Amino acid sequence: MGKVARGVMALSTKATHRQTRIHNQGLVLRTLYDRGPVSRAEVARLTGLTRTTVSQLVGEFVSDGLAREVGRGPSTGGKAPILVQVDADARHVIGLDLGERAFSGAVVNLHGEIRRTASLPVGGRNGEAALQVVYRLVEQLAGEAPGLLLGIGVGTPGIVDASDGTIRWAVNLDWQDLPLGRLLRERFGVPTYVANDSRAAALAEYLFAGGGGAANLIAIKVGHGIGAGFVLGGELFHGDGFGAGEIGHTAVVDDGEPCRCGRFGCLETVASSRAILARASDAAAAAPDSFLGRRAAAGHALDLDDVRAGLDAGDEATRRIVVAAGRFLGTAVAGLIGALNIEKIVLIGSVAALGQPWLEAVRDEARRRSLGMLGGGTRIDIGQISTDEVVLGASALLMVRELGLAPVR
């Protein structure tokens, strides 16, 4: 065997050892996390690894502070075994939600529990100025984070190349081909994972909302914009060009209103919060003595709270606006039901707060336009995590990638 070939052999054997070690580390850590407090012997039994390997790896986790011993379990004849579990506060993740109005973030522990939060107004900033707001927010949260920082998870609107964290296109922030993942990694020296906000939110609903064991889920985020996230077989689906779920810019109205993407009649122009508020303002201007007209008096710009109040007061004009928006969304949902036959669909985002009349319109239209067999088996509900879904989902993505841990409540 030549010198070069021997070198390659040695290298690949080394690489294999390293891979095996990383694999075993992940396996043991995940077992401590999912099953802890648990004895070393039980970890060996569950993983199929030798007791020596398990003891060595657990020893390393304990000395790193990632796991700790928490007393003794029941004896099965001999000496009572020492139990070990992951210390959820040994590492923290910063999760960010780069929303339309404000950038918000949280320090999250390994159980997905929020320890600190912070929020900075974006105030119409975009481009480099918006990037500076991201930096300030991370600095603020990192300064308050207890324990070691494992990394940063970011949920942002737009098309995101999740493999390297490059934002290919975020129309409202005027970001194009922005390498946000690399910029944050270099600036803060920790691993960073960037994903589309709707996809991050879908993962949070899947992990934290007690999905009843369903392997598949669609979460549709309806706010200023509209986007969906698909969890297929327990994994986020990104699509071939990282655009899976970008339903907001599918044209649904021929010769419709101009959209901020530059085209006309997109779903966002008829079903987003902006669309609902534009209709409400039109109705208010047309009838100053109506419920909405009185709410809009004295120059007050109508918001979703006003619309909610109109629904609560039984105002018919408000109800018609909300139902029309819900029906447009229902049409889009019917398309997803036909394409994917996923039976658990959750609606999240600010518009979901409009509640029953909107939800009923979405459900009714989705069923009406679906094959009976498929529509009948599909459950469409309002999501269970109200405000922190993007932050929690982005944090979870980082934990899955760095530690192989999927936090579940």
Positions in the binding site for Zn ion (CB under 5 A): 249, 259, 261, 266
Closest to 123 in 3D by CA, of 151, 105, 100: 100
CB of 172 to Zn ion, least distance (A): 11
Residue whose pair of structure tokens reads 């039976």 in the numeric block? 343
Strand pairing class (67-72; 82-86)? antiparallel
- Environment class of 71 (CB within 10 Å of its CB; exposed 0-12, middle 13-18, buried 19+): exposed
Whole-angstrom distance, CA of residue 163 vs CA of residue 143: 28
For Zn ion, the closer CB: 266 or 271 = 266
Amino acid at 266: C
CB of 252 to Zn ion, least distance (A): 10
CB of 127 to Zn ion, least distance (A): 20
CB of 394 to Zn ion, least distance (A): 24
CB of 352 to Zn ion, least distance (A): 21
CB of 6 to Zn ion, least distance (A): 59
For Zn ion, the closer CB: 258 or 288 = 258
Amino acid at 246: E
Residue whose pair of structure tokens reads 């975009």 in the numeric block? 126
Whole-angstrom distance, CA of residue 280 vs CA of residue 284: 6
For Zn ion, the closer CB: 266 or 385 = 266
CB of 222 to Zn ion, least distance (A): 14
Q: What is the arrangement of strands in the sheet containing 82-86, beginning at the earlier edge strand?
A: 38-39, 82-86, 67-72
For Zn ion, the closer CB: 66 or 266 = 266
Beta strands in 135-214 (DSSP E): 148-156, 159-161, 166-170, 175-178, 192-196
Whole-angstrom distance, CA of residue 217 vs CA of residue 167: 24
For Zn ion, the closer CB: 226 or 337 = 226
Distances (CA, A) of 309 to 291, 295, 315, 319, 377: 9, 10, 9, 11, 33
For Zn ion, the closer CB: 142 or 278 = 278
CB of 261 to Zn ion, least distance (A): 3
Closest to 216 in 3D by CA, of 372, 371, 368, 379: 379
For Zn ion, the closer CB: 238 or 249 = 249
For Zn ion, the closer CB: 261 or 374 = 261
